[in-house]
Amino acid sequence: MASTDEASDGFELASLLSEGLIESYDQMPMPIGRYLTIILIPSVVFFVVTIGIALVLDFRLMIRAPIPMLGLLAMLSAIFYPKILLSQRKQELNDRFHLLVTHMTVLATTKIDRMEVFRRLSEEEEYGELAREMHRVVELVDTWNQSLDDAMRRRAKQVPSDTLSDFFDRLAYTLGAGQELDDYLISEQTQIIQNYKTVYEGTLDNLEVMKDLYLSMILSMTFALVFAVVLPVLTGTDPTMTVSAVIVLFIFVQTGFFLAIRSISPHDPLWYHPEELPSPIEHRLNVAMGIGIGLTTLLLLISLTGMLGLSPLTLGMLVPFVDPLPLALYAAVPTTPLIIPGIVFRAEEQRILGRDDEYPSFIRALGATEGAKQATTSEVLRTLRKKDFGALTPQINDLYKRLNMRLEPAKAWRHFTADCRSYLIQTFSEMYLVGREMGGSPKLLGELISENMNEVLQLRQRRAQAATTLIGLLYGITAASTFAFFIGLQVVNILAGMGLQLESNGSFDVASLIHTGVYNIPLIEFLLIIIIMFNALLSALMIRTTDGGHKANTYLHFVILSWIGSITAVMTKWLVTQFLAI
């Protein structure tokens, strides 16, 4: 009976998965027939070809196995790509949902027509898929003459996001019952923010699960790579081929986890990049980036030309206190200048975070004072700017000066947001400006924006804690895996030296016991350094994806991880030599 129930549960699960997959194919922008012809069928053919190649090649199973695995990966990617595409669309709808609802509430409090609210939101390109959903609702009303509540009920059945679908359903019922749009949105603010917090915290919990899976998989791959280095000394197989095969598998695993973390991480950008209003910050960041990339390129050229004998200047001359320069440091030293833009961008990012922390109290005080005094923003800022708003104070002073010079308010606020460089400050300031221009209550706008931004900042604190945990995990894994790699390599190297000594003494035939002659130690060490650098790159990308900061943060962690791996490799070789050398 129990087995029958388990079989029934398994059948229901498979049925649900197949229904979800079929639904994702139905919602693809590309017709199903064209997708099958161009992508799915060729991927199946490629999988069959890789199986044939693996059967024909005369190599060991460990070397042939990754070939059909590559074909299987391509086929599965083609099969599940529509599902992934639908999940990405759902994620995009959920990521900006709270901002859109806040913007909608701000517009609704100005007493403009409710259809005009939807039209304005459909024109906001920064909302992406949400703006397209607003456009579809507007199109159903304007083109097909449906009522607004009927249009939202129809879209609620078709959107992949449960949050947006529920919002459309409840809003349609409320509007159909005769309640005003602004009354409903203001009363639902707490519920909407709570739903957003639930989704955001759910993604952070998923990241915690991914970290545990990543740790177990990387440890397994580390053991596999160590065995690939050490076992050929007993079996006599070609270690270069086995190590290369495991490295390819290692790269596949890390790349897969990076893509998974990128798809799971909540979209909550920190930086704002105005192309039309560059600030002095932009120049400083560009200079740091140019210096870092320029010096790295120069060191790479010196390293390559010196190693190839094309130039008398070598990388070892730049590090005279280490002679000879270990091979691992040839990889780490050229990357070091990239830490310059990493540090500069990191410092500026901390200033942005400081401005974000001060902005809710500023916008609440501004709205309350404007509402109480019935005065312009410029008059209110004359007294308000005397208060200490921490990292935001210089930008508030500049905003007051621009408004006092009779600069157009919209332009003054855009300069303010460009100087702040914060995505949240730009978004909420735009909402406040639009609400004030259209006659909204400044006190209500200030309280609404302040409350919503405070909730986002609290979620960001949890995200920062998750990123800090991930940093410690990746730094530790880098050191531990590199330690394991080079212990195996150095043990083999020492065994090779012992074998030569014993053979020269004529004691016995060492080759009958250990097969050290099959090893090309410098080449294997080079392959291990490649995996260290690749691990540093992908780990840095994972950290940057998790913390949501600027892409240049990757440089900082990449340099640190490269040096951790390189120093661990050098120290491991030295320690093993000290303990095991005869």
Rounded distance between C-alpha atoms, residue 570 and residue 327, angstroms = 9
Q: Do 170 and 304 have their domain in common?
A: no
SS3 376: coil
- φ/ψ of residue 409, rounded to 5: -55, -45
pLDDT of residue 13: 46
Q: Give all strands (DSSP E) within 62-111, no chain letters.
A: none
Does some domain include residue 558? yes
The pair of structure tokens assigned to 574 is 């030295």
DSSP state of 40: I
> HSE-up of 76 (CA within 13 Å, CB side)?
7
- Residue listed under structure tokens 């099969």: 79
Answer whether residue 469 shows pLDDT above 90.
yes
Q: What is the pLDDT of residues 476-511, one digit of tens each?
A: 999 999 999 999 888 888 776 665 454 555 554 555
Q: Do 221 and 342 have their domain in common?
A: yes
Q: What is the pLDDT of residues 323-345, one digit of tens each?
A: 678 888 888 989 999 999 999 99
**Is pLDDT larger for residue 496 or for residue 572?**
572
CA dihedral over 133, 135, 140, 141, signed as positive or negative: positive
Q: Do 435 and 473 have their domain in common?
A: no
Q: Do 336 and 382 have their domain in common?
A: no
Which residues make Cβ contacts (< 8 Å) with residue 96, sequence separation at least 6?
Answer: 126, 127, 128, 130, 267
The pair of structure tokens assigned to 395 is 């930008």
Structural domain boundaries, residue 362: 352-447
Q: Do 359 and 426 have their domain in common?
A: yes
Answer whether residue 407 shows pLDDT above 80.
no
User: Which span out of 176-190, 273-287, 297-311 was modeled with the highest average pLDDT?
Assistant: 176-190
Residue type at 12 in one-letter notation:
E
pLDDT band at 240 (very low <50, low <70, confident <90, very high): confident
Q: Do 464 and 509 have their domain in common?
A: yes
Rounded distance between C-alpha atoms, residue 381 and residue 383, angstroms = 5
pLDDT of residue 502: 47
Average pLDDT score over the chain: 84
Residue 421: left if φ>0, alpha if ψ -120 to 50, beta else—which one?
Answer: left
pLDDT band at 1 (very low <50, low <70, confident <90, very high): very low
Q: Do 219 and 361 have their domain in common?
A: no
> What is the tally of structural domains in the chain?
3
Query: Minimum mean pLDDT among 72-81, 170-179, 346-355: which range?
Result: 72-81
Query: Minimum mean pLDDT among 83-92, 133-142, 288-297: which range?
Result: 83-92
pLDDT of residue 564: 96
Cβ atoms within 10 Å of 193's Cβ, excluding its own: 19
Which residues make Cβ contacts (< 8 Å) with residue 490, sequence separation at least 6?
Answer: 572, 573, 576, 577, 580
Alpha helices in 148-279 (DSSP H): 148-156, 162-176, 181-187, 189-230, 232-235, 239-264
Q: Do 297 and 215 have their domain in common?
A: yes
Rounded distance between C-alpha atoms, residue 347 and residue 552, angstroms = 11
Q: What is the pLDDT of residues 61-96, one digit of tens each?
A: 666 777 788 888 888 888 888 887 877 788 888 888
pLDDT of residue 12: 55
Does some domain include residue 230? yes
Does some domain include residue 74? no
Which residues make Cβ contacts (< 8 Å) with residue 508, sequence separation at least 6?
Answer: 502
Q: Do 441 and 371 have their domain in common?
A: yes
Does some domain include residue 71? no
Centroid of chain to Cα 479: 23
Q: What is the pLDDT of residues 14-64, one digit of tens each?
A: 554 566 677 777 777 777 888 888 888 888 898 899 888 888 877 666 667
Answer whether residue 353 shows pLDDT above 90.
yes
